[in-house]
Amino acid sequence: MKKQKRRDYINKLDKNKIKTMFLISISIVILCAPIVSAKYNLLENLKGGAQVAKPIFEVKGIEKSKISALNNIGYYEFCVKNFNEQEVSEIGFVYTIEIISNTDESIKFELYENEKQIELQNLKTENLYIQGNEKIEQKYKLKVIYDNTLGQKGKDILEDVQIKVYSEQEKVGSR
């Protein structure tokens, strides 16, 4: 009878060991499965290839203009384009135009694109857009108006006016 109890006890221990080993094996498989999957996905993602778009954005100005009390209106023409002599930009651009000047209230600025006036907020435009893959040249004309009845009387105004164009490449899928 003692031998039978001993055999039953040993069988019971073996069954417990087998159950424990089985549970440990399952736990290891469950814990390692996401790591194996993540490595597979990473390798799959690295197989792709892409070309970087060629951005071309040029701003060109056409001759300077001087204004005075006698010649109180001046124009400055410039253009924004997405091509050069060899290539056209493959991507579009969002840009703004800002007029920088330290003048007083006697100088006013107006900006036009193809005879249509563009509104300026604090001497800056809203976002403008030029698309890619097609030759586009957007022409602008800055009108500078000097009113000698405003500002300080008898004061000479010797100021340079700068036009700054801030551009940012179009984000993929934004249009």
pLDDT for res 42? 47
Q: What are the two backbone dihedrals, phi and then psi, of residue 21, each rounded to the nearest 5 degrees?
A: -65, -40
Q: What are the two backbone dihedrals, phi and then psi, of residue 72, each rounded to the nearest 5 degrees?
A: -90, 5
CA dihedral 158, 160, 115, 83 (to 10 degrees): 160
Q: Is the whole-model pTM more than 0.85?
A: no
Rg (CA), the chain: 37
- CATH code, 58-169: 2.60.40
pLDDT for res 174? 57
The answer to whether 97 and 79 are in contact (CB under 8 A) is: no
Residues 6+ apart with CB under 8 A from 73: 67, 143, 144, 145, 146
pLDDT for res 157? 57
Residues 6+ apart with CB under 8 A from 78: 59, 60, 61, 62, 139, 140, 142, 163
**How far is 74 from 109, CA to CA, in rounded Å?**
10
**How far is 105 from 26, CA to CA, in rounded Å?**
80
**How far is 140 from 148, CA to CA, in rounded Å?**
26
* Identity at 19, one-letter amino acid code: K
pLDDT tens column, 84-119: 989 999 889 999 999 988 877 788 899 999 889 999
* Identity at 51, one-letter amino acid code: Q
**How far is 23 from 28, CA to CA, in rounded Å?**
9
Domain locations in the chain?
A: 1-49, 58-169
pLDDT for res 16? 72
Which parts of the chain have pLDDT scores under 70? 1-13, 32-52, 151-159, 172-175
